[in-house]
Homo-oligomer: A and B are copies of this chain.
Amino acid sequence: MVLSQPGSLGHWSGSEPDGSRRRGGSARSQASRLAILAATARLFAVNGYDRLTIEGIAAEARVGKQTIYRWWGSKSALVAECLLEGSLMPAAFVPADTGDLAVDLREWLVELFAFVDEAANASMTRSLFAAAAENEDIGRILGESLGAGSALIRRLRRGVEAGQLGVDAPLPELAKALVGYVIVHALERAGTPPDLPERLVAALLP
């Protein structure tokens, strides 16, 4: 499994969209921005989404609250940007391509389960689901990170090309079902039997 580079989706340049600078005033402080994102990631990991507070972030980042409100409209926007930066979880779980689809999917699931099962990540992951439920962007980015968006589908498509999957297999549905399984699994807080990835692959890729 290969993680795409954190920050590769970055979208902040310090300039106006057209590349010019505004008439007057200081430019946005990159230092403050990074401190805020780092504080958000740290406090999210420690306390979870609902105990995450703007005041706490501002204090941790040694920043005025207004500086947060100036650039992010809400707690969830802040979390969404952290997610994009890859500070909360690997920016994307991408299945490898060894040529054998079943093996690659199994390995991908093993990593995914390992991630969501690890105690340190588990409650944070669930918190992310809560955040996703409140904020569409977070939902989309989270789905993307877990692979449902495109990386997983691309791998499945290569499986079709290799004849390991029927040509008419509904790839997006398969991908969403896989990711959905992982989410339900994480919400259930049940452990992962070692053969689960195997069985799951068998169930969906007969």
Contact = CB atoms under 8 A, between A and B. Distances in A.
Contacts of A196: 173
A128 B134 CA distance: 10
How many copies of this kind of chain does the complex include? Answer: 4
A19 B176 CA distance: 48
Classify chain A: how many residues form its interface, as a range: 35 or more
Interface string A152-170: 0000000000000010011
A110 to B, nearest CB: 15
Interface of A: 48-50, 126-134, 136, 139-140, 142-143, 148, 166, 169-170, 173-174, 176-185, 187-189, 196, 199-200, 202-204, 206
B181 A185 contact: no
A183 B49 CA distance: 19
B187 A184 contact: no
A48 B130 CA distance: 12
Contact of A181 (B50, B134, B173): B173
